[in-house]
Structure 1
Amino acid sequence: MAIWCADLALDRWRHSEGCQRGEGTDAAPLALITETAHGPRIDAVNQAARAHGIARAMMLADARTLCPTIEVRPSDPAGDLAFLERLAIWAQRWGPWSAIDPSDGLLVDVTAVAHLFGGERRMLADVEARCAARGLHIRTAIGPTAGAAWALAHYAGQAAILDPEDDVSARLADLPVAALRLDNDVLLVLKRLGLKRLGDLAGIEEGRDRKGHNDIRGRDAIHRRFRNRKSPAANPLVRMDQLLGRVPEPLLPVVPITAPMVQRRLVEPIRHRQLLDTVVADLAEDMARTLEARGEGARRLQLGMWRVDGEVLTRDLEMAAATRDPSHICRLFADRLDDIDAGFGIEMLRLRASWSQPLALDQSDLEAAAEQHGTSLAACMDRLTTRLGRDAVQRPVPRASHIPERAQSWQPPLEPEPAEQHQLAFHTRPLKLLDRPERISVLYAAPEGYPRRFSWRGQVCEVARVEGPERIAPEWWREKGSTRLRDYYRIEDEAGRRYWIYRNGLPTDGRGGMPDWYLQGLFA
């Protein structure tokens, strides 16, 4: 689904001014301008200014010749982008993810969710009603691809819907080539070639010229003209393939990230430095607990102080490494608070970690406490090793391998981890892995199908739920070429027990007979 905010800059400006569309601000010609090296340039105009012939990208001096009484306000592109990012997160009520369209719009994945709103028509009506309540003038469309939805929203009218079963090329044939989201210089070249509609470009792709005769050059003629253009927006063939779904179009979803933040609202304003240091220490303790719960450490902190007269004082810190040590944070802020003018008092303080990084837990506090009582973690490990044996006390260490039985190894508890090893990100895996995968007998509908029943250790288990497969290829650099790949399944039997099994190989891989099944892990 494409949502095009036709007047995004003006709608956001109206929102900041506290007025609605159609009120007094729209009666007089109005333009939002940006200062350039050649003078002010117009970024957006309202309907009254359009009636005088004023358009976007026009210089303000030229616009004043058409309408001397035009009012101007400064534009804010950064604010518009931030507003669009917030709008993209809000639009995820209609789909699992959304992406920003550079032309002041959004693209929302609505695959298999329209029935939750009563159909696609009702979903578009809900989008329009909710956006209108927020003061946004939008145009919406739904298509089988992001390019088709964008083209419909911009050039096919309001609330257009294109089903995947329809002939996309025929339905969009009358739209201008600008619907392909091309650069202006590319549109100029296509216009000079006489290619003004998508149908003209599709005809040449199929090997027909503009008169309907066969053209042996076809797609190659356009390819030779634009073969040196790497960007999709500069190559009409790539854009046409994306619009028709021949090639995928990568989109970057907007992911909301909440910055850790703690604050204190004071019963009475404070003015003295000693009280300020006490509140900052409390905020540092709260921030440390918040970061520890997230498994992160702060790289950049911002302390905001609200005075009684409404002024906000801020102090920023940026650390060389991620930390959540309260005492360290307080020491750094102590040097930044000497010039604070509390005025009539500070009534609220807020500490925010605008930049944080993953930070693993450590046992430094445990070691320090043990030293105070005359013992240590190393001494404890020595006693256990002497009493139970050298190999009885070990700890798991992640290894850089995607094969489950090689993803971790065991080493003495106090030895450092190898610096060259990195833990890889996997799908959900069980906490308990068997020492060796055990072969099982599996009943399935087809060799490549889901398991229905399996026998393990003399017990027959009926499969109730199946999730998978997760395909894991062999490590070609250390194994023989005849090693077969694995398809892992997370299954649950009728008693609620959960297992991790895999099929070793495929029936058609040419590396042996029928594949064998193994059980490798148990879920809690």
Structure 2
Amino acid sequence: MTRSASLPKQPGRRILSVWLSQLAIDRWRQVEGIGRGEGRDASPLVLIAETAHGPRIEAANDAGRASGARKGLMLADARTLCPQIDVATYDPASDLDFLEKLALWARRWGPWSAMDAPDGLLVDVTAVAHLFGGETRLLSDAGKAFTARDLAVRLAIAPTAGAAWALAHYGPPATILAANDDMEARLSDLPVAALRLDDDVLLVLKRLGLKTLGDLSERFSEASGRDALHRRFRNRKSPMANPLVRMDQLLGRVPEPLLPVIPQQMPLVQRRLMEPIRHRELLDQVMGDLAEDMARELEGKGEGARRLELGLWRVDGEVVVRQLELAAASRDPAHICRLFAARLDDVDAGFGIEMLRLRASWSGPLALGQGDIEASAQKHGTSLAACIDRLSVRLGKGAVQRPVPFASHLPERAQKWKEALEPEPVSQGELAFHERPLKLLDHAETIAVLYATPDGYPQKFRWRGNVHEVVRVEGPERIAPEWWRERGTARLRDYYRIEDSAGRRYWIYRQGLIGDGRGGLPQWFLQGLCA
């Protein structure tokens, strides 16, 4: 049997855009357990964020918008229009977390979905519409599913993410743009705001008389018009600030990268007890079993835990949660039990604890190690990471800090202090320096230097009341100022490694050159002590 040489034509890409037009209000309503139009939602309500000029409105319900409240309006101005307006706190972090969970839930309509922050989703529905009976029924199914969750939503399907977004926000409800439709003609009546541009760019286009996508298309049809727009916006690198890039993405002329939301399975182990426990000895025994199970789970993934959450379910329904963060990835059961021991002293078991659950909400790669080497290390002393964990549990995670490298060639800015439990900073590339002294002073101290010529080697210097005679000199090493951070009058530095007659070694520098036009005579400073 031979297969035909002609293959079926592959369908074009189809993107479903979901606009949750009242995401913040809908999430707040679900947290409060209030239905749409019921309770507090029936009266004017706004969600506010604190700013330097006072509370500002970030979202409003239907009654609030009817009374004149809108996003960006100050609360004091809104209350002049509606004195009885109700207020709740705006929580963008929780909204983003809610949107991420919705993105995972929305994968029922396609193989992958992406967040379109702050209030939208994008779902790839290519070649899956036939499973729902067509794209019209797919939109209907999605609309009913979001409505069942009490979420206000607008939907659209188009060949590109930009076109789907534009139709969901500014087109008729439940619009479908077919692959063979003339996209420019179908979208020509939409406003330029449908290109997902920054507000300042929209203002510039409005002043240029470009109000709709059709106006932009007319300019694009002429090479001179496109060149003029390109010159005006060529310095804007972000797609949200360049209408040419956004228009090309909308029409499918250039690709638009999308970042799918991928669920991560967190290692989780639990114990359901036949009889509730109330005594600390039994609790420690079950905790040890959980730590052993977690170690096996993490070892199978080649990972170690950085954050652990322990939940204890009491007979009366109360749940006690204890959280722990580690300085380095670990799956040592004894170490985990030892750290949790300090967190379980104040646990009230009530009538008994019937279930325990341990979850690693944050983990990192951890290679397998030989047991005898680890045992030897524990025999000779406690590791630094274990010491940091113990101090953090006892004193608080903010009490222990560690130095981390910082991308600056100036010695006093080459490192910063961060909390020991914070993750390692993203590498910005290693900067290669000459050898640095073992000890740097907190602040460079002024010294008086005698030298043979204005730009010659130092001969003697006075520091803290004592005169030191220089017998050996190495240098200079010239370090330029950070021109992007300091003023144009900042002066060069010439560093010297010197040794005095007593054999003590110092790291000094001259700030400025004679005749550099950036101040008076050069000044000398001592910044470090060499080995």
Normalised by the shorter chain, which TM-score bucket?
A: 0.5 to 0.7
Q: 1:272 aligns with which of 261, 272, 279?
A: 279
- Shift in alpha-carbon separation, 1:181–1:305, aligned structure 2, 3 A: same
- Shift in alpha-carbon separation, 1:312–1:102, aligned structure 2, 3 A: same
Runs (5+) with no aligned partner, structure 1: 208-215, 369-524
Shift of 1:335: 3.9
The residue number in structure 2 matching 1:354 is 361
Shift of 1:185: 0.4
Q: 1:15 aligns with which of 30, 33, 37?
A: 30
Residue type of the partner of 1:199?
G
Residue 234 of structure 1 pairs with residue 203 of structure 2: no
User: Retained in 1: the 8 A contact 2:58–2:90?
Assistant: yes
1:272-330 CA-to-partner distances (Å, cap 9, x unmatched) read 32122111101112212322333432222222334556665443333344332322322
Q: 1:147 aligns with which of 150, 156, 162?
A: 162
Matched position secondary structure for 2:215: helix
User: Retained in 2: the 8 A contact 1:139–1:157?
Assistant: no
Residue type of the partner of 2:128?
V
The residue number in structure 2 matching 1:104 is 119
Matches within 5 A, 1:118-517: 118-207=133-222, 217-307=224-314, 312-342=319-349, 345-361=352-368, 364=371
Rounded to whole Å, the distance in 2 between the matches of 1:317 and 1:71 is 38
Residue type of the partner of 2:279?
H
Rounded to whole Å, the distance in 1 between the matches of 2:49 and 2:316 is 33
Shift of 1:167: 1.3
Shift of 1:357: 2.5
1:246-279 CA-to-partner distances (Å, cap 9, x unmatched) read 1111111111112111223444443332122111
The residue number in structure 1 matching 2:89 is 74
- Shift in alpha-carbon separation, 1:17–1:314, aligned structure 2, 3 A: closer
Rounded to whole Å, the distance in 2 between the matches of 1:287 and 1:52 is 55
Rounded to whole Å, the distance in 2 between the matches of 1:338 and 1:169 is 68
The residue number in structure 2 matching 1:30 is 45
Residue correspondences, number: 360
Residue type of the partner of 2:253?
R
Rounded to whole Å, the distance in 2 between the matches of 1:309 and 1:64 is 45
Runs (5+) with no aligned partner, structure 2: 1-15, 376-531
Q: 2:108 aligns with which of 79, 90, 93?
A: 93
1:180-207 CA-to-partner distances (Å, cap 9, x unmatched) read 0000000000000100000111111111
Matched position secondary structure for 2:180: coil
Rounded to whole Å, the distance in 1 between the matches of 2:37 and 2:348 is 45
What percent identity do the matched residue pairs reach? 72
Rounded to whole Å, the distance in 2 between the matches of 1:367 and 1:189 is 65
State the TM-score, normalized to the length of structure 2. 0.64
Rounded to whole Å, the distance in 2 between the matches of 1:238 and 1:219 is 11
User: Retained in 1: the 8 A contact 2:34–2:41?
Assistant: no
Shift of 1:165: 1.3
- Shift in alpha-carbon separation, 1:185–1:315, aligned structure 2, 3 A: same
Rounded to whole Å, the distance in 1 between the matches of 2:327 and 2:61 is 48
State the TM-score, normalized to the length of structure 1. 0.65
Residue type of the partner of 1:116?
L
Matched position secondary structure for 1:217: helix
The residue number in structure 1 matching 2:66 is 51
Rounded to whole Å, the distance in 2 between the matches of 1:315 and 1:108 is 37
User: Retained in 2: the 8 A contact 1:9–1:44?
Assistant: yes
Shift of 1:24: 3.8
